[in-house]
Amino acid sequence: MSPNTLARERPLTPLQERFLKYGLDSLEDGEIIELLLSLGLPCRKCKRETKECVEQFKDLRGLLTASAEELEQAGINQRGILYIELMREIPGEFLKQKIIDNPVYKSSKEIFDYLCYSMRDLKKEVFKVIYLSSQNQIIDTADLFEGTIESIPIHPREIVEATVKQGAVRLIFAHNHPSGDPTPSKSDKQLTRDLVFIGNVMQIKVLDHIIIGENRYFSFADTGLIKKYEDDFLNIRIKSVFQAEQHQDSN
């Protein structure tokens, strides 16, 4: 069957034509869901499945953040799930390529813009690292650890090993708060302090630790905490050197 024959057998629906002419701004959330499902479902099923999806997921964001199992339970077939998964992955991949192609890291807002879409709706905390060169050029990003909403296991040794393997000398850490509130907890602050200390020992500079919330974020660098932790490390080191010298003099 030729593409032209296929096109004749499956003409655009009025909803599809409206989207092509006026864009997403002309559609309500339910219509966007129907439009998306129309790509993977027979047109006769779209209305029914759209109604079920709106009832279960409430809006487009709920649909796009649903798991494959939840989509299947809502009656979406494998082709429909494929389209939804693709819609979910493409923006994040585009932003990833955009930030890696950007020659130099400039601000926490730039990192937030990249990570927000992929992290704000996660139901578990995910700990990411962005590897950079000595000129702040972004080398790569990686998910290192995943935990529950309450806690996330962090292994500094693995972070150091992965950094050496990447050939990076500077790092930006990021994780999400599923609650939507990016305010750092006591354990977030202790972890960041430990990572800055370890980085100083290994001659790896921690540029920032960014917590992703609901369309907002917290930056340890912007609030001066990274600098504070660096100063704490320097003071401890100076104190230990001074004590060692005193001990030698006493002997």
In CATH, what number is assigned to the domain containing residue 221? 3.40.140.10
Given a cut of 70, whether residue 251 has pLDDT beyond it is: no
Which structural domain range is residue 73 located in? Answer: 3-91
Which runs of consecutive H residues, i.e. helices, occur in the chain? 3-9, 14-22, 29-38, 43-57, 60-64, 68-73, 78-101, 108-119, 156-166, 186-202, 225-250
In this structure, the answer to whether residues 77 and 135 fall within a common structural domain is no
Do the domain assignments include residue 248?
no
Helical pair 29-38 and 43-57, crossing angle rounded to 10 deg: 130
| Average confidence score pLDDT of the chain | 83
In this structure, the answer to whether residues 57 and 113 fall within a common structural domain is no
Given a cut of 60, whether residue 225 has pLDDT beyond it is: yes
Task: Find the helix or strand (DSSP H, E) in which 144 lies.
Answer: strand 138-146
In this structure, the answer to whether residues 112 and 24 fall within a common structural domain is no
Last residue of a domain, one of 61, 91, 121: 91
Query: What is residue 159's predicted lDDT score, i.e. its pLDDT?
Result: 85
Last residue of a domain, one of 91, 116, 131: 91
Per the structure, how many domains does the chain have?
A: 2
Query: What is residue 146's predicted lDDT score, i.e. its pLDDT?
Result: 84
In this structure, the answer to whether residues 84 and 12 fall within a common structural domain is yes
In this structure, the answer to whether residues 69 and 123 fall within a common structural domain is no
- The backbone torsions φ and ψ at residue 23, rounded to the nearest 5 degrees and listed phi first, read 85, 180
Task: Evaluate the CA torsion angle 82, 85, 90, 96 in order and state its sign.
Answer: negative
In this structure, the answer to whether residues 36 and 118 fall within a common structural domain is no
Do the domain assignments include residue 85?
yes
In this structure, the answer to whether residues 168 and 69 fall within a common structural domain is no
User: Given pLDDT bands bounded at 50, 70 and 90, which one contains residue 23?
Assistant: confident
Question: Which pLDDT tens digit goes with each residue over 140-180?
Answer: 888 888 876 456 667 778 888 889 899 999 999 999 998 99
In this structure, the answer to whether residues 36 and 120 fall within a common structural domain is no
In this structure, the answer to whether residues 118 and 161 fall within a common structural domain is yes
* Residue keyed to tokens 């799930």: 81
β-pair partners for 172: 130, 208
Distance CA 157, CA 163 (A): 10
Last residue of a domain, one of 39, 69, 91: 91
Instruction: State the pTM of this model.
Output: 0.70
Do the domain assignments include residue 48?
yes
In this structure, the answer to whether residues 211 and 182 fall within a common structural domain is yes
Contact 114, 130 (CB under 8 A): no
Of 31-35, 92-96, 120-124, 200-204, which range is least confident? 92-96
